Structure 1
Amino acid sequence: MNVTIFFTRNCNMNCKYCYEGSKYSRDISNSVLKQVILFITKHMKKIKDNKLSIVTHGGEPLMAYDKIKAFVKQTKEVLPNVEFSMTTNCTILDDDILNFIIKEYDNISVSIDGTREAHDLNRILRNKKGSYDIVIPNALKILRYRPDTIARMTVNSDNVKYLFQGVKELVEMGFSHIMPTPDEFDTNWDEKSLEELHKQGKLISDYVAIYSGNRELDIGFIDNATCKMKNSCCDGGITTITIDTDGKVYPCIIANGLEKFCLGDVFKGIDGNKMKQVHLQDQQSILECLGCKRYDYCTTTRCKIINKIKTGNFNEASPITCNLENISVALALYENEKSKDIDFK
């Protein structure tokens, strides 16, 4: 069972591409957190699942550090096999926080967009200054103790031209696990920027192929496409759950805060009728995508909620998502010397 918990909506940064930026600011209460543990325990028994992974999310999650610290301790006492994950902007880090996350977290991701130019273009502080000079020293402190730390790069149409150089610099800093993540909600992707993404991806593939360092590199966006498993039915609200700061329960993080997708709350549980309504579209085919070789693997054919949010129609694929999927596959094939031309829409 995978649970994402929003501990806070607050953030000390003002990233230009942040999808949480326009939403309300609020921290989760102690009463909600107490109920979260009870809700998770009960739901796991209901679905007969004994594996639990929890993402402590935000905002910037470490702005609610004291609550996270207490919650992790309490949860591990009740559910000792739980795994914890977190992505942090790496601007809030002292010795206490550092020692806590390297000891208690199974997976740590830090948000770094690569080069100084790419990072400071979008990842700015509330005072409108770039955060690179704060983030890098803190990220390297974490990396020193946790070599498995993931550098998560958000790639959009503005900073895509820095992608390869950013990956190269992160490798030189010591990162082995790098996750360039194209921003699917960036409406400014066009033929030119998509072609640039493809070009930058090929440069990364060439670099990884000749890399002679003493460690294996894992570059997510490029490596994952051909290993992607065939789509299963949406498990939102079943084995995947997102809990907002007010205790409301949603099928996934993309739907969080959208009342029409709310399934219930941690106090009263999940409403079966609401669950059925959310999953009504699961078995509907996307007619325009029938015949595509990626139909059974693509995000747009599995996640109808993201289609609704991006296009206004559960069964209409986003052209941006489609193109990004094609590029991901083409780059994976390029690694195997099977590069094919891409037909951009």
Structure 2
Amino acid sequence: MLFNVWVTTACNLCCDYCYEGIHMQGVNMDIHTAEQTLDYICSKINESKEEYSVVNYHGGEPLLNYKVIFYMTEQLKERLPNRKILFGLTTNGFLLDQEKSEYLINNFQYNLSISIDGTKEIHDMNRKTVQGKGTYEKVIENIQTILKKRKDTRARVTYTPETLGYLFKSIVNLVNLGFHNIVPVPNYSDMNWTDNHGKILEEEILKLYYRYGKQTDIYISLLTPDFHVAKGRCNAGIGEINIDCYGRIYPCTCMVSEEKYQLGSVQKPKEQDVIELLKESEKSETECKGCGLEHWCIGARCKLVNKMITGDFGLAPSFLCAETHALYRVYSRIGGK
């Protein structure tokens, strides 16, 4: 079971493409709510028969509420000494210091991710301070300890219509910095995607394949499209639970703060409601039906993503479709090699 715990909605940066909204009010989870959240998580884990559970801290920038992250992590280890719990976190790296780095290195085995977009030029194009200054040099300085000690550190890359053509160059730079685990994700909500961007993505992926396709020590998610197994049902609210700063429960990250999709709170959960929500999602037909790739398409399976971005369960973001087709074309060329 995966618990995404939103310890803050605040952020110290002002990224141009932030899907949460750069003017979002900053709220931190307090210790009282953290205690109630701990009680809820412990109860759910004790009920579970799964081999392990995951607690993933979310934001905003999670390290702005590092005291709650530290407290909850230590409490869970103390309260559930006989259960396997893996911890995860994605940070922009700007607030990392030696103490925080060492703690994350030693305790966050599920996911230790740095949001970084590639070269200095590409990264600083969108990832800026509130004053409008680029953050690349500060982030690179701060993550050296982590890169040296954790080869599985993930680079979480956001690309846009403007930066897509530099994706190969950006990922080469990240590999040279020491990242061996790189996950590029498009900003689906950008309104400037066109049909031609699918072709550009295909070209960038092929360049990456010819450079890194045979290197088993480097993982680039774009080189491992999973077209072997059809995607199953959405697991939102069942295998994945999201808890916001106030202790309110939501089925997935897409729906956090959407009151209509709230499943109660850690104090008073309403978990049975998730069944009706998933039914509402699943009964919506999508344009994916009949295209041949609907069994692998996120837009056909994860309709809550569609709802968040387009406002319609049945309408997938345009570039999600283009991305799926580009990945399939690449897979058709290199998948069996």
Q: Tell whether the structures are fold-level matches, with TM greater than 0.5.
A: yes
Cα displacement (A) at 1:258: 1.0
Structure 1 distance, partners of 2:98, 2:78, is 24
- The 5 Å alignment of 1:108-147 reads 108-147=112-151
1:326 matched to which residue of 2? 325
Cα displacement (A) at 1:287: 5.3
- The 5 Å alignment of 1:1-345 reads 1-20=1-20, 21-46=22-47, 48-80=49-81, 81-106=84-109, 107-209=111-213, 216-227=217-228, 229-272=229-272, 274-284=273-283, 286=285, 288-336=287-335
SS of 1:264's equivalent in the other structure is coil
1:343 matched to which residue of 2? none
Q: 1:180 to 1:216 in 2, by over 3 A?
A: same
Cα displacement (A) at 1:236: 1.3
What are the Cα deviations for residues 150-205 of structure 1, in whole angstroms up to 9, with x where unaligned?
Answer: 11111111111211011111111221111111121222111333322222111111
Cα displacement (A) at 1:285: 5.7
Structure 2 distance, partners of 1:280, 1:47, is 24
Do the aligned residues in 2 keep the contact of 1:47 with 1:238 (CA within 8 Å)? no
Q: 1:264 to 1:130 in 2, by over 3 A?
A: same
Number of paired residues?
Answer: 333
Do the aligned residues in 2 keep the contact of 1:181 with 1:221 (CA within 8 Å)? no
Letter in 1 for 2:164: V
Letter in 2 for 1:94: D
Do the aligned residues in 2 keep the contact of 1:281 with 1:304 (CA within 8 Å)? no
Unaligned residue ranges in structure 2 (runs of 5+): none
Do the aligned residues in 1 keep the contact of 2:154 with 2:179 (CA within 8 Å)? yes
Letter in 1 for 2:106: K
What are the Cα deviations for residues 283-320 of structure 1, in whole angstroms up to 9, with x where unaligned?
Answer: 42625332232222211111121222223222233322
Please report the RMSD computed on the Cα atoms of aligned residues, expressed in angstroms: 1.9
Structure 2 distance, partners of 1:200, 1:297, is 21
After TM superposition, the score normalised by the length of structure 2 is 0.93
Do the aligned residues in 1 keep the contact of 2:281 with 2:304 (CA within 8 Å)? no
Unaligned residue ranges in structure 1 (runs of 5+): 339-345
After TM superposition, the score normalised by the length of structure 1 is 0.91
Letter in 2 for 1:295: E
